[in-house]
Amino acid sequence: MRLVLVGPPGAGKGTQAQFLAAHYLIPHISTGDIFRANLKAGTPLGLQAKVFMDKGELVPDSVTNEMLKDRLTHGDVSNGFLLDGFPRNVAQAEVLRAILAEKKMPLDAVLEFSLANEEIVARLSSRRTCKDCFQPSVGVEKCPSCGGDVYQREDDKAEVIARRLEVYQEQTAPIVSFYRNEGLLITVGALGSVEDITAHAISALSRVSE
C-alpha cells in the first residue's frame, strides 16, 4: 500500500498515520522525521536545510524534494509507505508523481481527513501541552502521562489556528483537487473516536488494498 495522507491541522492526521502504517505494515514517513534524520546524520541535504533553518527561513522545496527522493530509496519502502506532510502543495505533488513514475511504484490512494473549521478551532484551542514530557492532551489541568503542569502553546490559540487554516486553504488544500483529478482521492470524516476513524479509513481503503 502506497499512501499519502492530507488534511487540515487538527484533523488527527498524525495519529491516524501511526495506526494505518501499523495496519498495513508500511513505514510512516513524515517530513519532520526526514528533516531530523538528515540533520542528525549531517548529510549534505541536512546541512543545506540547516543553513535556511538557522536563518529562520523555510527550507526550499528543492531540498525537501531531494530528501524525500532519497528516503524512498530505502529498503523498507519495498512493500509500500505512508507519506505524512508531503506533498504540501501542487508543485510537490507533481514532483512526487515524477519520482514514483521513475521508480514504477505509483500511489494507490490519497486519504483526506475532513473536518469542519469550527470543530478544528474548538479541538486545538482546548489542547494543552505538558511542560515536562511535552505530550499534548485535551481538557486537562495536569498531564495524564506524567502529572506535570500543562500550558497552551501559542499555535494552539484561536487566532493562530485561524491563520493556520488560512495557510492550509491557500497552499495545501489545492492538492485535494489535484488528487481528485488523478482519481486517487478518498475522503474520510475525522469526527469521532480515533478507533472509529481508523476503522472507517481502513474500510474506505479496502477497495485499493485487495
Domain ranges for the chain: 2-27+74-115+168-209
The whole-number average pLDDT for the span 75-88 is 94
pTM given for the model = 0.82
Range from 48-52, 116-120, 134-138, 184-188 that averages highest in pLDDT? 184-188
| pLDDT over 80 at 172, yes or no | yes
One of 3.40.50.300, 2.70.98.10, 3.90.1150.10, 3.40.50.150 is the CATH number of 2-27+74-115+168-209, namely 3.40.50.300
The whole-number average pLDDT for the span 159-170 is 86
| pLDDT over 70 at 176, yes or no | yes
Give the least confident one: 31-45, 97-111, 159-173: 159-173
Catalytic site residue 123? no
Active-site choice (131, 142, 153, 163) = 153
The whole-number average pLDDT for the span 91-96 is 95
Residue 68: predicted pLDDT: 95
Residue 118: predicted pLDDT: 86
Percent of the chain clearing pLDDT 90 (strictly above): 61
Active-site choice (2, 71, 123, 164) = 164
Partner residues linked to 149 by β-bridges: 142
**Nearest-angstrom CA–CA distance, 50 and 46:** 6
Confidence of residue 42 (pLDDT cuts 50, 70, 90): very high
The whole-number average pLDDT for the span 129-155 is 86
**Nearest-angstrom CA–CA distance, 15 and 67:** 23
| pLDDT over 70 at 33, yes or no | yes
| pLDDT over 90 at 209, yes or no | no
**Nearest-angstrom CA–CA distance, 146 and 30:** 26
Buried b / exposed e across 31-48, counting CB within 10 Å, b at 16+? beebbeebeeeeeebbeb
The whole-number average pLDDT for the span 6-22 is 92
Active-site choice (13, 71, 123, 128) = 13
CA atoms within 13 A on the CB side of 138: 9
Residue 22: predicted pLDDT: 96
| pLDDT over 90 at 137, yes or no | no
Catalytic site residue 88? yes
Active-site choice (2, 71, 123, 127) = 127
**Nearest-angstrom CA–CA distance, 209 and 202:** 9
Confidence of residue 210 (pLDDT cuts 50, 70, 90): low
Reported for 116-119, long-range contacts at CB under 8 A and 24+ positions apart, including other chains, are: 116/191, 117/8, 117/165, 119/10, 119/191
Backbone φ and ψ of 67, nearest 5°: -60, -45
Active-site choice (88, 97, 157, 180) = 88
Which single residue is written with the C-alpha cell 531540498?
63
Q: Where are the alpha helices (DSSP H) in the chain?
A: 13-24, 31-41, 44-54, 61-71, 90-102, 117-125, 158-167, 174-181, 194-209
Report helix, strand or coil for 67: helix
Catalytic site residue 164? yes
The whole-number average pLDDT for the span 56-61 is 86
Residue predicted with more confidence, 99 or 135:
99
Average pLDDT over the chain reads 91
